[in-house]
Amino acid sequence: MCDEVYKPVIQNLINNLRALREFVESVEPTIVERADSAEDSRYRLALALEYIYSRINPALCEGVEVPPELLGLEGKDVQVELVGEKNDAGKAEISFKVTGADADEFTKAVDLATSTKKLRHLRSLINQVQSDRKQMSILYRGALISLISQIQVFLGTLFEAQLRIRPDSLGDGESITLADLNSCGTVADAMEIILNRKVESMLHGGLDDWRVEIKRALGCELSHYADRFDEELTEVYQRRNLLVHSDGVVNALYLANVPATQKIGVKKGDQLEVDREYLDHAIDVFELAFVLLSLAAWKRNSRDDESRSTYAIDLEYDYLLERRWVIVEAIAAFTKDDPVLASELTNRVNWWLALKRQGRFQEVRSEILEADRDFKTRRPIFRIVRHALLEEHEEILRLLPLALQEQGFDLVELAEWPVLDEFRESASYRDYVSAHREAMTEVLGEDETAKIIDALQDSDDGIDSGGGDSLEGADE
C-alpha cells in the first residue's frame, strides 16, 4: 500500500529536478557558444571595455590592469593598463597604456575596433556581451526559483499522500461551510474539499513554516535528513527570496534569516548571483533532503515494508550512474538502519564507493579489507566489486570469466558500473577489450564499442584496431 503512495511522489520529484538540470544543460551551450564563436579581436576588446565600464570608475582607474584573458592575449608579452583622467569638460576619459614585445597586436586590435567605420559594430558587440551575461544570469536565477517551486509542489503532493494514509492527522479543527456541503454529492466529496484546503494551508509561508508542517504531519524533522546541509537549505531559500523581491541585493531580512556560516563576507547592499556550480549544489541538497524525508515518512507508516529498501537501493544505483556521490552516501546511510534491508551488502558497497569518490577512502579502507571473509563466499560479481574498490585489477581480470556467466552481470555492466572506473582506465581493461572486441560489439553495438575504443586510444597506449589478442605498444 505505502509503496504505491510514496514511490510515485518521490519519483516525480526526482524526474522534475532531473528535467530542470537537463533544461539548463540544453540552453546553456547556446549562450556560451555565441561568445566562444566570436574569436576576433573586436569581440575580445568589447569584453574588455564591458568589463571596464561596468566595474571601474573611469576617473579612478590609473594603473588598473585589464585581465589578459579578456583580451585574447594569454601567453603574449603584452601588459595593458588603464589611464583615467578628466578632460577639459570635466568628463572622465579612459586611455590604454600598452607595453611588451607583443604590444602591436593589441594596438592594431584597438585601432581596428575603434575606427569610425567599426565603432558602431563595437557598440553592438558590447551590447551583445552584456546581453549574453544577462541571459546566463536569467537562466540560472530562473532555475533556482523553479527549484523552490518544484519543492513546494512536491510537499503538497507528499502532504496529501500522508493525509490520505492517515486521515486522523487532519486534526479536529477542520470544518466545511454549509454551502460547500450542499455542493457535495457524498461524504467523500466533502472530505476531499477539507483535505485540499488543509494542504493549501500547510504550504503557506516559507521554509521555516514548512518545517513546522513537516514535523506536525509527518513526524519528521527536516533538519535531521538535511544533516550537514540544513543551513544551506535556508541560505538557498533566502537567496531565492532576494532574487524574486530585490534583484538579488542583500537586505536586512536576508542577513537576519541566514545562518552565520552561510553569509561570511556578505554585507547589506551586495548583489548575490547564481552560477552553475551554486545551482547544481542547491539542487543536490534539496533533492537529498526531501528524498530522505519521503523515505522517512514511508518508514514511519510502514516500518516492515521491504519494498522501501529495495527502492532506496535502486535510487542509489541511479545516483551512482549520475556520479552524485553526496546523495548516494546519504541514502545508503539512511537505508543501512532499515529493519527490513533488502541487500545489506549492496547498500554497504554503495556507501563505500560514495565515500571513496568524495576523497574519503581512508575512512572505510580498513573496513573493506576486514570484509574479505564476507566476500569470499559471495558470487564473483561481489568479489569483483571489492577488488575494484581496492583497485586490484589483476584479480578483477581473473574473476571476469566467472562473473560474465552469471545473471545480472554482462558486458554492459562492465562498461557502465561506476565502481569499475579505475579498472576501465587500466592496462588490464585495455587487454580485455582488445581480446574481446567482437563480443563487446555484439552486446554493446558498434557505436558504444567505438566510444570505448576511442577513449582507450586517447590513453597512454592504445587498442589494436584489428581486435587481436594483444595491445600495440603496451608497456607490460
What pLDDT is recorded for position 328?
95
Tally the C-alpha atoms within 13 A of residue 357's C-alpha that lie toward its C-beta: 23
* pLDDT > 90: percent of the chain: 40
Instruction: Work out the pLDDT band at 132, boundaries 50, 70, 90.
Output: confident
Q: Please list, in sequence order, all residues whose beta carbon lies within 8 angstroms of the beta carbon of residue 353, skipping any fewer than 6 positions away.
A: 320, 325, 328, 389, 418, 419
C-alpha span between 59 and 62 (Å, rounded) = 8
| Three-class secondary structure assignment of 382-411 | HHHHHHHHCCCHHHHHHHHHHHCCCCCCCH
Residue 229 has pLDDT above 50, yes or no: yes
C-alpha span between 390 and 386 (Å, rounded) = 6
Across 19-37, average pLDDT: 83
Across 390-417, average pLDDT: 84
**Which stretch of 25-29, 167-171, 201-205, 353-357 has the lowest confidence by average pLDDT?**
167-171
Please give the DSSP secondary-structure letter assigned to residue 98: E
Residue 192 has pLDDT above 90, yes or no: no
CA distances from 253 to 242, 246, 258, 267 (A): 9, 11, 9, 12
Dihedral sign (CA 146, 148, 151, 155): negative
Q: Residues in the chain, how many?
A: 476
**Which stretch of 202-216, 249-263, 289-303, 380-394 has the lowest confidence by average pLDDT?**
202-216
Indicate yes or no: pTM above 0.85.
no
Q: DSSP secondary structure string, 212-236?
A: HHHHHHHS--HHHHHGGGHHHHHHH
For the chain, give every domain's residue range. 2-31+135-291, 39-114, 371-476
Higher-confidence residue of 340 and 74: namely 340
Q: What is the pLDDT of residues 336-385, one digit of tens each?
A: 988 888 788 899 999 999 999 999 999 999 999 998 888 888 888 889 99
Unique residue bearing C-alpha cell 559471495: 378
Across 13-34, average pLDDT: 90
Strand partners, 94: 84
Across 144-152, average pLDDT: 96
Q: What is the pLDDT of residues 301-321, one digit of tens each?
A: 888 888 999 999 999 999 999
CA distances from 230 to 105, 262, 456 (A): 52, 11, 42
